[in-house]
């Protein structure tokens, strides 16, 4: 028998893949059980309601996002490069076979109207991302107004890439970000 932490990870990973690929409402708990290899009884012991599992998936996605952005930013050498690294991260992500757009936007669109917890979790993630971009812009010597512009550009790139299926959207967004940065910094 697998321990509780392993079972939790398997269920969240399976639900994440399924919800992201098909949508939350289209995926029943039987499908999660099959993909995770964990009994329904155990799943419901870990996550008493599907909403609890959805929130766990959103926390998991937040962690993945933060790690991915963090690694891309850490690899950049200059403060300006660190800002642009956000778009480099997007470029890699958009080329993944499993890319279906921003899970937070997808979940919000599908569930937030009737689920305050999902709306709150998505808003918290978006606010955290905006704060992170603001920190990067500050470190690069940019004005405060630049950060929300760059965050919106990144968010729009995610949505556009998902709809069009064009991974080059990230390169276009990066070029626009570079232009905004040059204009804001006067370089």
Within a 10 A sphere around the Cβ of 142, how many other Cβ atoms?
21
In 3D, which of 162, 161, 128 has the Cα closest to residue 147? 128
Q: What is the pLDDT along the chain (187 residues), one digit of tens a residue?
A: 789 999 999 999 999 999 999 999 999 999 999 999 999 999 999 999 999 999 999 999 999 999 999 999 999 999 999 999 999 999 999 999 999 999 999 999 999 788 899 999 999 999 999 999 999 999 999 999 999 999 999 999 999 999 999 999 999 999 999 999 999 998 8
Where do the CATH 1.10.10 domains begin and end in the chain?
1-48
Where do the CATH 1.10.357.10 domains begin and end in the chain?
49-185
- Tokens 């968010």 -> residue: 155
Q: Quote the pLDDT of residue 187.
A: 80
Per DSSP, the three-state class of 39 is coil
- Residue 19 CB-density burial (10 A; 0-12 exposed, 13-18 middle, 19+ buried): buried
Rounded Cα–Cα distance for residues 96 and 167 (Å): 9
Within a 10 A sphere around the Cβ of 68, how many other Cβ atoms?
15
pTM of the model: 0.93
Rounded Cα–Cα distance for residues 47 and 40 (Å): 10
Q: Quote the pLDDT of residue 1.
A: 72
Architecture per CATH, domain 49-185, reads as Orthogonal Bundle (1.10)
Q: Quote the pLDDT of residue 146.
A: 98
Q: Quote the pLDDT of residue 91.
A: 97
Rounded Cα–Cα distance for residues 89 and 173 (Å): 12
Fold that domain 1-48 belongs to in CATH: Arc Repressor Mutant, subunit A (1.10.10)
Q: Quote the pLDDT of residue 122.
A: 96
pLDDT (tens digit per residue) in 20-35: 999 999 999 999 999 9
Q: Quote the pLDDT of residue 36.
A: 98
Per DSSP, the three-state class of 122 is helix
Q: Quote the pLDDT of residue 144.
A: 97
């Amino acid at each position: 028998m697998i321990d509780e932490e392993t079972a939790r990870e398997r269920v969240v990973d399976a639900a994440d893949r399924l919800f992201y690929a098909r949508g939350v409402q289209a995926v029943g708990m039987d499908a999660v059980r099959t993909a995770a290899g964990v009994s329904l009884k155990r799943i419901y012991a870990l996550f008493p309601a599907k909403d609890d599992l959805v929130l766990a998936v959103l926390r998991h996605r937040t962690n993945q996002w933060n790690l991915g952005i963090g690694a891309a930013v850490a690899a950049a050498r200059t403060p300006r490069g660190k800002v642009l690294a956000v778009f480099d991260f997007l470029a890699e992500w958009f080329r993944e076979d499993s890319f279906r757009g921003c899970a937070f936007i997808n979940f919000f669109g599908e569930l937030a109207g009737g689920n305050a917890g999902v709306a709150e979790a998505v808003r918290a993630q978006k606010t955290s991302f905006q704060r992170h971009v603001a920190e990067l812009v500050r470190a690069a010597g940019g004005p405060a107004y630049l950060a929300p512009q760059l965050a919106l550009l990144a968010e729009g790139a995610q949505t556009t890439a998902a709809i069009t299926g064009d991974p080059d959207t990230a390169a276009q967004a990066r070029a626009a970000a570079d232009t905004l940065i040059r204009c804001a910094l006067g370089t």
